[in-house]
Structure 1
Amino acid sequence: MKNKWIAVLLITLLGALQYRLWFGKNSISDYKGMQVQIQVLEQQNANLKQRNQLLKADIDDLQLGIESMEERARNELGLIKEGETFYRILPKQ
């Protein structure tokens, strides 16, 4: 009779542990969800690192001298020097 109760107790304990493993806090499904979140965050970090590298390159260019500032003014603001002729070539749409 005593062995029967021990077996029932052990099976109940095993069931409780299995329930916690599959459905409780920090379960396998939570683990898989966290893995997906980690992948999304790693992708975001990679994108931000690339953007930071581009910004750093721009900063380095600006620190190099007037040539980079002149290039930016030409490209972004459409500025030209005295005596220059500006040609804009538009693509066919």
Structure 2
Amino acid sequence: MRLFQLALFCLCAYIQYKLWFGHHGLHDYRRITETVNTHQQMNTELLKRNKLLKADIEDLKLGLEGVEERARHELGMIKPNETFIRVLPKKHYE
């Protein structure tokens, strides 16, 4: 009878060891869960960026206003007989 109890105790100890410290145990589960959460956040941010890019593409496909806006904003282009004025933020010197 004592041998059977000792065997059960050893089996329980082995199972607990595997659960807490073994391969595919709780430590691995927590690490993988954190990794999945990080990837889900990254995917959410990338989906938002993709939606903005798709909206930009549609705007550029539909009309010249989008092209003109980009040219003015990114390239600093101006129309004939137009004056370009650039206002710079005031620098704070300490």
TM-score by length of 2: 0.90
Identity of aligned residues (%): 47
Tell whether 2:86 aligns with 1:68: no
Runs of 4+ in 1 over 4 A off after TM superposition: none
Pairing partner for 1:59 from 57, 60, 76: 57
Q: Which amino acid aligns with 1:89?
A: V
Q: Which amino acid aligns with 1:87?
A: I
Give the aligned partner of residue 5 of structure 2.
Answer: 7
Give the aligned partner of residue 92 of structure 1.
Answer: 90
Q: Which amino acid aligns with 2:12?
A: L
Matched residues, number: 91
Give the aligned partner of residue 82 of structure 1.
Answer: 80
Distance 1:7 1:76 in 2: 78
Q: Which amino acid aligns with 2:84?
A: F
Q: Which amino acid aligns with 2:83?
A: T
- TM-fit CA distance, 1:77: 0.5
Distance 1:67 1:45 in 2: 31
- TM-fit CA distance, 1:39: 1.5
TM-score by length of 1: 0.91
